[in-house]
Amino acid sequence: MTASREKNIADLRLTRRSFIKGCAVAAAALGLSESMVPRLLHFQECTGCTESLLRASHPDIGKLILELISLDYHETVMAAAGYQAEENLRETMKKYQGKYLCVVEGAIPTKDGGVYCKIGGRTAMDILAEVAPGSAAIIAIGSCASFGGLQAAAPNPTGAVGVRELVTGKPIINVPGCPPNPISFLGTVLHYLTFKRLPVTDDQGRPVFAYGRKIHDHCERRAHFDEGRFVEQYGDESHRQGYCLYKVGCKGPATFSNCPAVRFNDVEQWPVSAGHGCIGCTEPGFWDNMTPFEERLPEVKVPLGEGSVGSAVSVGRKVALVTAGAIGLHAASGVVRRLVKGTAKKDEVRED
Amino acid sequence: MRRYEFTKYRAFGPLYRITHWIFAGSCLVLIFTGYYIYNPWFTTMLETGTDDFTVANIRFLHFAAGYIFLGAVTVRVYLWFFGNKQERITDALPINKRNLKNFWGAILNYLYIKFHVPRLGHNALAGTTYLVTFLLSMVMIVSGFYLMFPESASWQHWGLAFFGGQQNARMVHFIIMFYFIFFAMVHIYIAIWNDVMFGEGLVSAIISGSKFLHIKRPEVD
């Protein structure tokens, strides 16, 4: 500790934890929690986002729902059930009209009137259409609520879409990921709690504090990329050495997220440090355009005569072959023509 | 032995020729380094602690060549409007009767059906191909900048609008690379073929700027 810092009376030597506690006390004192009433709607999803959120630590889920916010409706953690739960939903919607945060988890199916997801006999589309207009803002947690996720992958049998496709006129913050890091979600909530406004987002509606930079640019294996040291296949010597996973399909260079910086749930791990490349789960349509996950580029489906499917490379090779073949054929027919007809044909040229 | 009479005509200006060779050089570097970036096939295997920076250097070459390519495209567009007659955009596009006729003539010519007289500038088929190549170059430039500056708000905006994400842009960028390989192969073959067939000195024309036509008129259409 330097002398100048010791003189700094504003330096309270705050740890991260006590800072958050301080925020909580301040928020309670200001009565912020009154207006912070998130309703968590679960639609087509696996509850993985909630599972991830339950393991959050800054703040932990207990502190979040008991001290920081008033969580009035959440299918997984609420005490009420059945009619009572649905009654709570209507009650708090009326009470906090225009003030509550609506958090959506899971995609919303739209095909056939949205019958593929129903809660309490009502479709997800209906519930969202009822809850969204009265909210202050909507937070879409996870890739499904943000962009449709796995349900929306081709051929998208239930017509699943993200919240942004259905709701207009309300600020929508997307916190994608499969699951998203709880830090990104809680950061968004606490940002709103602290500053009474939503964080700055990119063109995809993702907060830039968490999704402003590519994974590739903060990756701990980046030095191996720049040096040209790559894992050629899983389990080889390079893999054991912890080299770059680019050649086994890592999508870090195409994916915006804070994974390498904040990692997950205090265990200091994330997929790349565990030895598998990024699969690009925070990007829209990642099930379609990031697969196969262990290949550099997606498969290209070229509707050739027999409906054959080739990878981009093999298409390129075919183009090169056809080109070479066409050139060879053209040159050969010129030679044959000359052999058959002799050499004095050039004078026959006519104008156009 | 038959004797031909050729007259030497000025076809292409120096700036045009320099631009051509900058295209050739930068495309060669871009294709080589671009494919390398897709699949780094030679690497510094198992040598932790070396400082040769292979992939970083290859990427630098790719980006630098990209800027040079962009410069050459800019000059080419300038010459479309301010170059000599053979270099202008209107000279070789099938947008008038003369060039529509020439377009069809060029196809018959390359099919060995009916040879046409080489003209001083490009034939209309070549001119059309160059326009397509220019448009694909623009796609390459836009997707290239989007991939190079992923965090820039403006490139992110355009990139999303055009391609719908980094990975899709990379895909488009990769596939169009094969067009440029295809173009280079056909382009070189056609140039040599014309030279062999008509003795106009097409290959050397892009070095010296002069073509040889065996018609005693400066304009051969």
Nearest to B170 by CA among A260, A164, A271, A280: A280
- The phi, psi pair for A207, rounded to 5°, reads -60, 130
Domains of chain A in sequence order? 21-209 (3.40.50.700), 215-289 (4.10.480.10)
Q: Given pLDDT bands bounded at 50, 70 and 90, which one contains residue A31?
A: very low
Q: Does A324 touch chain B (CB under 8 A)?
A: yes
- Per-residue confidence (pLDDT) for residue B26, from 0 to 100: 95
Residues 218-257, chain A, touching B (beta carbon < 8 A): 225-230, 237-238, 241, 246-247, 251, 253-256
Nearest to A106 by CA among A173, A21, A163: A163
Greater model confidence, A32 or B203: B203
Checking if the pLDDT of A20 tops 70, the result is no
Checking if the pLDDT of A227 tops 90, the result is no
> Are B59 and A266 spatial neighbours (Cβ–Cβ below 8 Å)?
no
Burial class (CB in 10 A: 0-12, 13-18, 19+), B58: buried
Query: So where are chain B's domains?
Result: 13-41+54-209
What residues of chain B lie within 8 A of the CB of A290, using their CB? 167
What is the average pLDDT value for chain A, to the nearest integer? 81
Checking if the pLDDT of A302 tops 90, the result is no
- Per-residue confidence (pLDDT) for residue B3, from 0 to 100: 62
Tens-place pLDDT, residues A309-334: 455 667 677 778 888 888 888 788 88
Residues 258-317, chain A, touching B (beta carbon < 8 A): 280, 283-285, 289-290, 296-298, 300, 312, 315-316
- Per-residue confidence (pLDDT) for residue B150, from 0 to 100: 85
Q: Given pLDDT bands bounded at 50, 70 and 90, which one contains residue A244?
A: very high
Place of tokens 């156009």: A352
Nearest to A276 by CA among A310, A300, A250, A238: A250
What residues of chain B lie within 8 A of the CB of A281, using their CB? none
Beta-carbon pairs below 8 A across chains A and B: 142
pLDDT in tens, chain B (221 residues): 456 678 888 899 899 999 999 999 999 999 999 999 998 887 765 555 566 788 888 999 999 999 999 999 999 999 999 888 899 988 889 999 989 999 999 999 999 888 887 888 899 999 999 999 999 999 999 999 999 888 888 888 888 888 988 889 999 999 999 999 999 999 999 999 998 888 888 999 999 999 988 765 444 44
Please judge whether B55 and A226 are an interchain contact, meaning their C-beta atoms are less than 8 angstroms apart: yes
- Per-residue confidence (pLDDT) for residue B48, from 0 to 100: 56
What residues of chain A lie within 8 A of the CB of B168, using their CB? 289
Helix (H, G, I), strand (E, B) or coil at B178: helix
Helix (H, G, I), strand (E, B) or coil at B129: helix
Tens-place pLDDT, residues A263-278: 887 788 899 999 999 9
- Per-residue confidence (pLDDT) for residue A18, from 0 to 100: 66
Nearest to B74 by CA among B138, B162, B24: B138
Give the nearest partner residue to A349 out of B117, B167, B182, using CB atoms: B117
What residues of chain A lie within 8 A of the CB of B103, using their CB? none
Tens-place pLDDT, residues A99-136: 888 899 999 999 999 999 988 888 999 999 988 988 88
- The phi, psi pair for A57, rounded to 5°, reads -130, -10
What residues of chain B lie within 8 A of the CB of A247, using their CB? 39-40
- Per-residue confidence (pLDDT) for residue B66, from 0 to 100: 93
Tens-place pLDDT, residues A167-203: 988 999 999 999 999 899 989 988 988 888 899 999 8
ipTM above 0.85, yes or no: no
Q: Given pLDDT bands bounded at 50, 70 and 90, which one contains residue A86?
A: confident
Min Cα distance A321 → chain B (Å) is 10
CATH 3.30.70.3270: does it fit domain B13-41+54-209? no
Nearest to A225 by CA among B36, B197, B216: B36
Please judge whether A352 and B116 are an interchain contact, meaning their C-beta atoms are less than 8 angstroms apart: yes
